[in-house]
Structure 1
Amino acid sequence: MLRRLSLALAVAAASNGLAWAESTPPTTKTDLVSVYQEAVNNNADLAAARADYQARKEVVPQARSGLLPQLNAGADLNDTRTELDSPALKADRSGTVYQATLSQPIFRADRWFQLQAAEATNEQAALQLSATEQNLILQSAQTYFAVLRAQDTLASTKAEEAAFKRQLDQANERFDVGLSDKTDVLEAQAGYDTARANRILAQRAVDDAFQALTTLTNRDYSAVEGIKHSLPVLTPTPNDAKAWVDTAAQQNLNLQASDYAVDAAKETLRQRKAGHAPTLDAVAQYQKGDNDSLGFSNTGTVSGQQPISGDVEQRSIGLQLNIPIYSGGLTSSQVREAYQRLNQTEQLRESLRRQVVQNTRDLHRAVNTDVETVQARKQSIISNQSALEATEIGYQVGTRNIVDVLDAQRQLYSSVRNYNDARYDYILDNLRLKQAAGTLSPADLEALAQYLKADYNPDKDFLPPDLSAAAEAQMRGDRNY
């Protein structure tokens, strides 16, 4: 009788939830893959990252332009007034000059290295965008399972509240017939009040979790599909930390991006050093305008010919050689700055490499620990259920007091929450491990979606379906449960 009464604690809360569900119109539940797709289409952070990449990739054509021909055209309009004291003479002249200049860099080492640095920066930006897209996969899963975690926690706190309410009612009944004193009633009342406060906080956590889902996707959700207890809880494949670290060293997106950041810094250093090198350009120029404006005198002659009058055209083509000698120490200072920036980038890459190695090893251990923890937490529920029922029997016969019963109930529902936390930790740590290794993809979410339950009801599904049978077997002394 006591066993059925104890197991009914969770069932009672579930029944309340089912009754509410029956009186409420059914709602469409969203699955994990749909949430991720909505995040891809509507997430503001991802949209900002894409815009940042499109902006940063423009450094390549900007740097390339320094190696391509440059064509400029212009016009000058001048009005000149000349006065001479002796002999007294005044003259007003005006003229317009049109000109075009074409230059083609022939040797510009600094601009070539600038282009190389820009191309490395472009590759870095592309990888950083890919890392952001990959992180959205994990973020979608974290936000989705945060909702399920909060719902399961609410379900357990509702069941706990129902159990404490039952205990309070029993304490009042025993007090009324003289089987217990007022202290038992007050203890039971305190336990019930605490459980009720916890249930209120758990409800707010559910609302907050759904709000986070809305923030991620810009969509409102009222229900999501839950994860089945039949989800396989397996060790990583391969279960070798070194293999995961080696994969991370080659495929981690942020680490690859840091390699290109170092390449860009190296090319920038070469660009600064090339500031000491000479430059050579081919220049062609065309001018047409009034002879006065072009510097010819009305009385001047060219090669013994008649005086020049009217418009004059000039064409020139040649090479311009520039040899930097001294620029106030600017170039040397820029070289020193670029060298330190390269050193900084290399150190940041090494720091990131160490962090990736640490995270990969830690997450590999975490997944293996989660596998054992899930099983241990499930067993803890069974053991705490048996302990609670034994304590209730002791309370009925007078060998235990109400405080012992209340503590046993708290331990039971704490073990339930710990079990569900362990399940979700296992799922997310698996995804984090794959992200650290650089192998996380939408296919991992699709694999999880196979174990989603469309009719998941937290008020009854927060407990493993085989819990009751296992508890019965334990009470019988069967070690093979």
Structure 2
Amino acid sequence: MLRAYNNSPVLNSGRAGVRALDEKVPQARSGLRPRANASLYLGKQENRAIARQIDEEIANPALTRVQTKSIQTGGSMPRSATLTVEQPVFDGFKTQNATRMAETNVFAGRERLRLTEQRVLFNAASAYMNVLRDTAALKLQENNVAVLAEQLRQTRERYNYGQITLTDIAQAEARLAAGQSLVGQARAALEASVGFYRQTIGVEPKKLAPGAAVDRLIPKTREEVERIALGEHPVILAALHDADSADLDIKVIEGDFMPKFSIVGNVFTQTDTSGVYNRNIGASIGGRLNVPIYEGGITYSQVREAKETAGQRRLDVDVARADVIALVRANWGALQAAKTQIAAAQAQIAAAERALYGVREEAKAGLRTTLDILNAQQELLNARISLVFAQRERVVASYAVLAAMGRLSTETLSLDAWQYDPAVHFEQVKDSWVGTATPDAGR
């Protein structure tokens, strides 16, 4: 389980998703932070000015006109630089509500990450027990084949002594062939379980110790399990955070109805923009007020949409509670059934062992047939396999109940493991103003 917790790509992907959600908080907080922009202009300008002048000769009766023309050419390199700084002062509480909504989404993401952790740990426990179950089942089937082979040998000996017929030999041969087929099926099932183990935990199973149930962590009554699940299951808590986030989204959109005010400052320099050898340097500061009046009805529609979404999210909480209660009852029932199956299988094994011994003794006296012996052996095998499967269900069901409570974690299981804390990355980035490098966050 520790290997799965540390190496699961599904879990690592979920952690990365929560870290991405963390970045929504500084993005929301940026709404009231200053903004600075710089603009530069550099160009080439050529000028050609033409002037015309007409002179009149007064002494000449014909008023002779004399026209003169002058041409002036020149060039310049106009350039300018402007620095603009804007500090938002009031945005209709949009930034505050957006920040709270982003933080709520982070909390919901952490609960979903906790759900992913539970699934990974449960899959690890299930994969472990599957390998144990199928290994034991394969050994039982192989042992059964050995017993059937010996039974076939004894049947042939009895036939040679004239005690039985060829029919008995055929029955023993048929049962041996069926047993060999079941060995092949059991081996295939074990290979599949080993593959799932490798996929879930990341290593090949070697020497596995017997699995143990976690009943010590489970309350004695189903009602207590349900009470804990309603208060701690990550599906319910994530749904509650989603509902809070949807309510805050309404306030964020309603902020577009309110005026927005900011302070804007400019520093600029301009050279050769209106002639050669001229320069203008200045600065300005002022307030900018934006009052929304009507935007085509889009904001009103967005508010109505957000309210419907918020109503849906509140209903999702009820759905989550109902799903969790159903899950608790199903897993609790499976756990109780597994306990009953173990007791019944143990009693069945004891009875089947006595029956097989009695059938064999009676067969020696000619009171039982070979088929009776084979049937008794099959019943004992079935009882032993039923016990193996029930023991697996017993352990896995206990982990399923713990997960349905919302408490399947490395901390609850007292595993000596490194704990991933999503709050570390959140604290590192929530107040970030600059920088593109992602922090380590204990990964």
User: TM-score under structure 2 normalisation?
Assistant: 0.81
Residue aligning to 1:68: 33
Q: Per-residue displacement from partner, 1:67-99 (whole Å, max 9, x unpaired)?
A: 211111121234456789997998765411111
Shift in alpha-carbon separation, 1:403–1:273, aligned structure 2, 3 A: farther
Identify the match of residue 78 of structure 2 among 95, 102, 105.
95
Question: 2:67 corresponds to which residue?
Answer: none
| Counterpart-to-counterpart distance in 2, 1:263 and 1:366 | 35
Query: Where in structure 2 are the equivalents of 1:422-441 lying within 5 Å?
Result: 422-441=390-409
* Equivalent in 86, 103, 107 of residue 90 of structure 2: 107
Paired residue for 1:389?
357
Measure how far apart 1:196 and its partner are. 1.0
- Return the match for 1:247 from 221, 228, 236: 228
1:257/1:233 CA distance change after superposition, 3 Å: closer
2:244 aligned residue (247, 251, 263): 263
In structure 2, the partner of 1:41 is 6
Q: Does 1:144 align with 2:109?
A: no
2:267 counterpart SS class? strand
1:418 alignment partner, SS class:
helix
Give, as a single letter, the amino acid of the residue that structure 2 aligns with 1:71: A
Unaligned runs of 5+ in 2: 53-70, 416-443
1:352-363 aligned within 5 A: 352-363=320-331
Q: Match of 2:295, SS?
A: coil
Determine helix, strand or coil for the equivalent of 2:286: strand
CA deviation digits over 1:216-240, x for unaligned, max 9? 232233322224xxx6896985322
Per-residue CA shift, 1:213-270, capped at 9, x if unaligned? 222232233322224xxx6896985322221111111111222122112211221222
Shift of 1:346: 2.6
Counterpart of 2:2 in structure 1: which amino acid? Answer: Q
| Alignment of structure 1 residues 230-309 onto 2, 5 Å | 237-290=218-271, 292=273
Pick closer, same or farther for the CA change 1:81–1:111 going to 2, 3 Å: farther
Instruction: Assess if the C-alpha contact under 8 Å between 1:128 and 1:254 holds in 2.
Output: yes
Q: CA deviation at 1:433?
A: 1.0
Contact 2:214 2:398 in 1 (8 A): no
Kindly indicate whether the alpha-carbon contact (under 8 Å) linking 1:70 and 1:102 is maintained by their aligned counterparts in 2.
Answer: yes
1:203 aligns with: 187
Partners of 2:42 and 2:77 within 8 A in 1:
yes
Distance in 1 (alpha carbons) for counterparts of 2:303 and 2:22: 25
Give the deviation of 1:120 after TM superposition: 0.7
Determine the C-alpha separation between the residues in 2 that align with 1:335 and 1:201. Answer: 60
Aligned to 1:134: 118
The yes-or-no answer on 1:51 pairing with 2:19 is no
Distance 2:235 2:265 in 1: 47
Relative to 1, partners in 2 of residues 1:218 and 1:440: Cα closer, same or farther, differing over 3 Å?
closer
Match of 2:280 in 1: 312
**What corresponds to 2:174 in structure 1?**
190
On the 8 A contact 1:175/1:182 being kept in 2, the answer is: yes
> Where do 5+ consecutive residues of structure 1 fail to align?
1-35, 299-307, 448-481
Percent identity of the aligned residues?
24
How far, CA to CA, are the matches of 1:336 and 1:85 in structure 2?
66
Quick check: 2:213–2:396 contact (8 Å CA) kept in 1?
no
C-alpha offsets along residues 24-64 of structure 1, whole Å, 9 cap, x if unaligned? Answer: xxxxxxxxxxxx22222222111211222212211111111
Aligned partner of residue 220 in structure 1, secondary structure: coil
- How far did 1:338 drift? 2.4
1:396-475 superposed matches below 5 A: 396-442=364-410, 445=413
Q: 1: distance between equivalents of 2:10 and 2:336?
A: 32
- Looking at structure 2, the residues matched to 263 and 406 of structure 1 have their Cα atoms a distance apart, in angstroms, of 66
1:238–1:335: structure 2 CA closer, same or farther, 3 Å change rule?
same
Residue 151 of structure 2: aligned partner: 167
Distance 1:174 1:366 in 2: 47
Summarize the Cα distance change of 1:234–1:269 in structure 2 as closer, same or farther, 3 Å threshold: closer
CA distance in 1, matches of 2:161, 2:412: 60
Stretch moving more, 367-376 or 250-259: 367-376
Cα distance between partner residues in 1 of 2:214 and 2:282 = 84
Superimposed CA distance per residue, residues 278-331 of structure 1 (whole angstroms, 9 cap, x where no aligned partner): 221111111111263xxxx55xxxxxxxxx962212211111111223333332
Deviation at 1:157, TM superposition (A): 0.9
- TM-score of the superposition, structure 1-length normalised? 0.75
Letter of the 2:39 partner, please give it: G
Q: Distance in 2 between matches of 1:234 and 1:112?
A: 46
Q: Say which SS state the counterpart of residue 139 (structure 1) adopts.
A: helix
Q: Which moved more, 1:75-84 or 1:398-407?
A: 75-84
Task: Kindly report the root-mean-square deviation, in angstroms, between the aligned alpha carbons of the 2 structures.
Answer: 2.7
State the Cα distance separating 1:364 from its structure 2 match.
2.4
- Which one has the largest radius of gyration? 2
Partner amino acid for 2:18? Y
Query: In structure 2, do the counterparts of structure 1 residues 333 and 71 end up closer, same or farther at CA, with 3 Å as the change threshold?
Result: same
Q: Structure 1 pair 243/221, CA: closer, same or farther in 2 (3 Å)?
A: closer
- Give the letter for the 1:260 counterpart: H
1-side partners of 2:228 and 2:414: how far apart?
Answer: 22
**Deviation, structure 1 residue 443:** 5.8
CA separation in 1, counterparts of 2:80 and 2:135? 80
- Alpha-carbon distance between aligned partners in 2 of 1:115 and 1:90, rounded to the nearest angstrom: 60
- How many angstroms apart in 1 are the aligned matches of 2:261 and 2:269? 26
Q: Secondary structure at the match of 2:78?
A: strand
Counterpart Cα distance in 1 of 2:46 and 2:164: 120
| Distance in 1 of aligned mates of 2:172 and 2:164 | 12
One-letter code aligned to 1:403: L
Which deviates the most, 430-439 or 272-281? 272-281
Separation of aligned partners in 1, 2:214 and 2:19 = 41
Q: Partners of 1:52 and 1:142 in 2: how far apart? A: 26
CA distance in 2, matches of 1:381, 1:72: 83
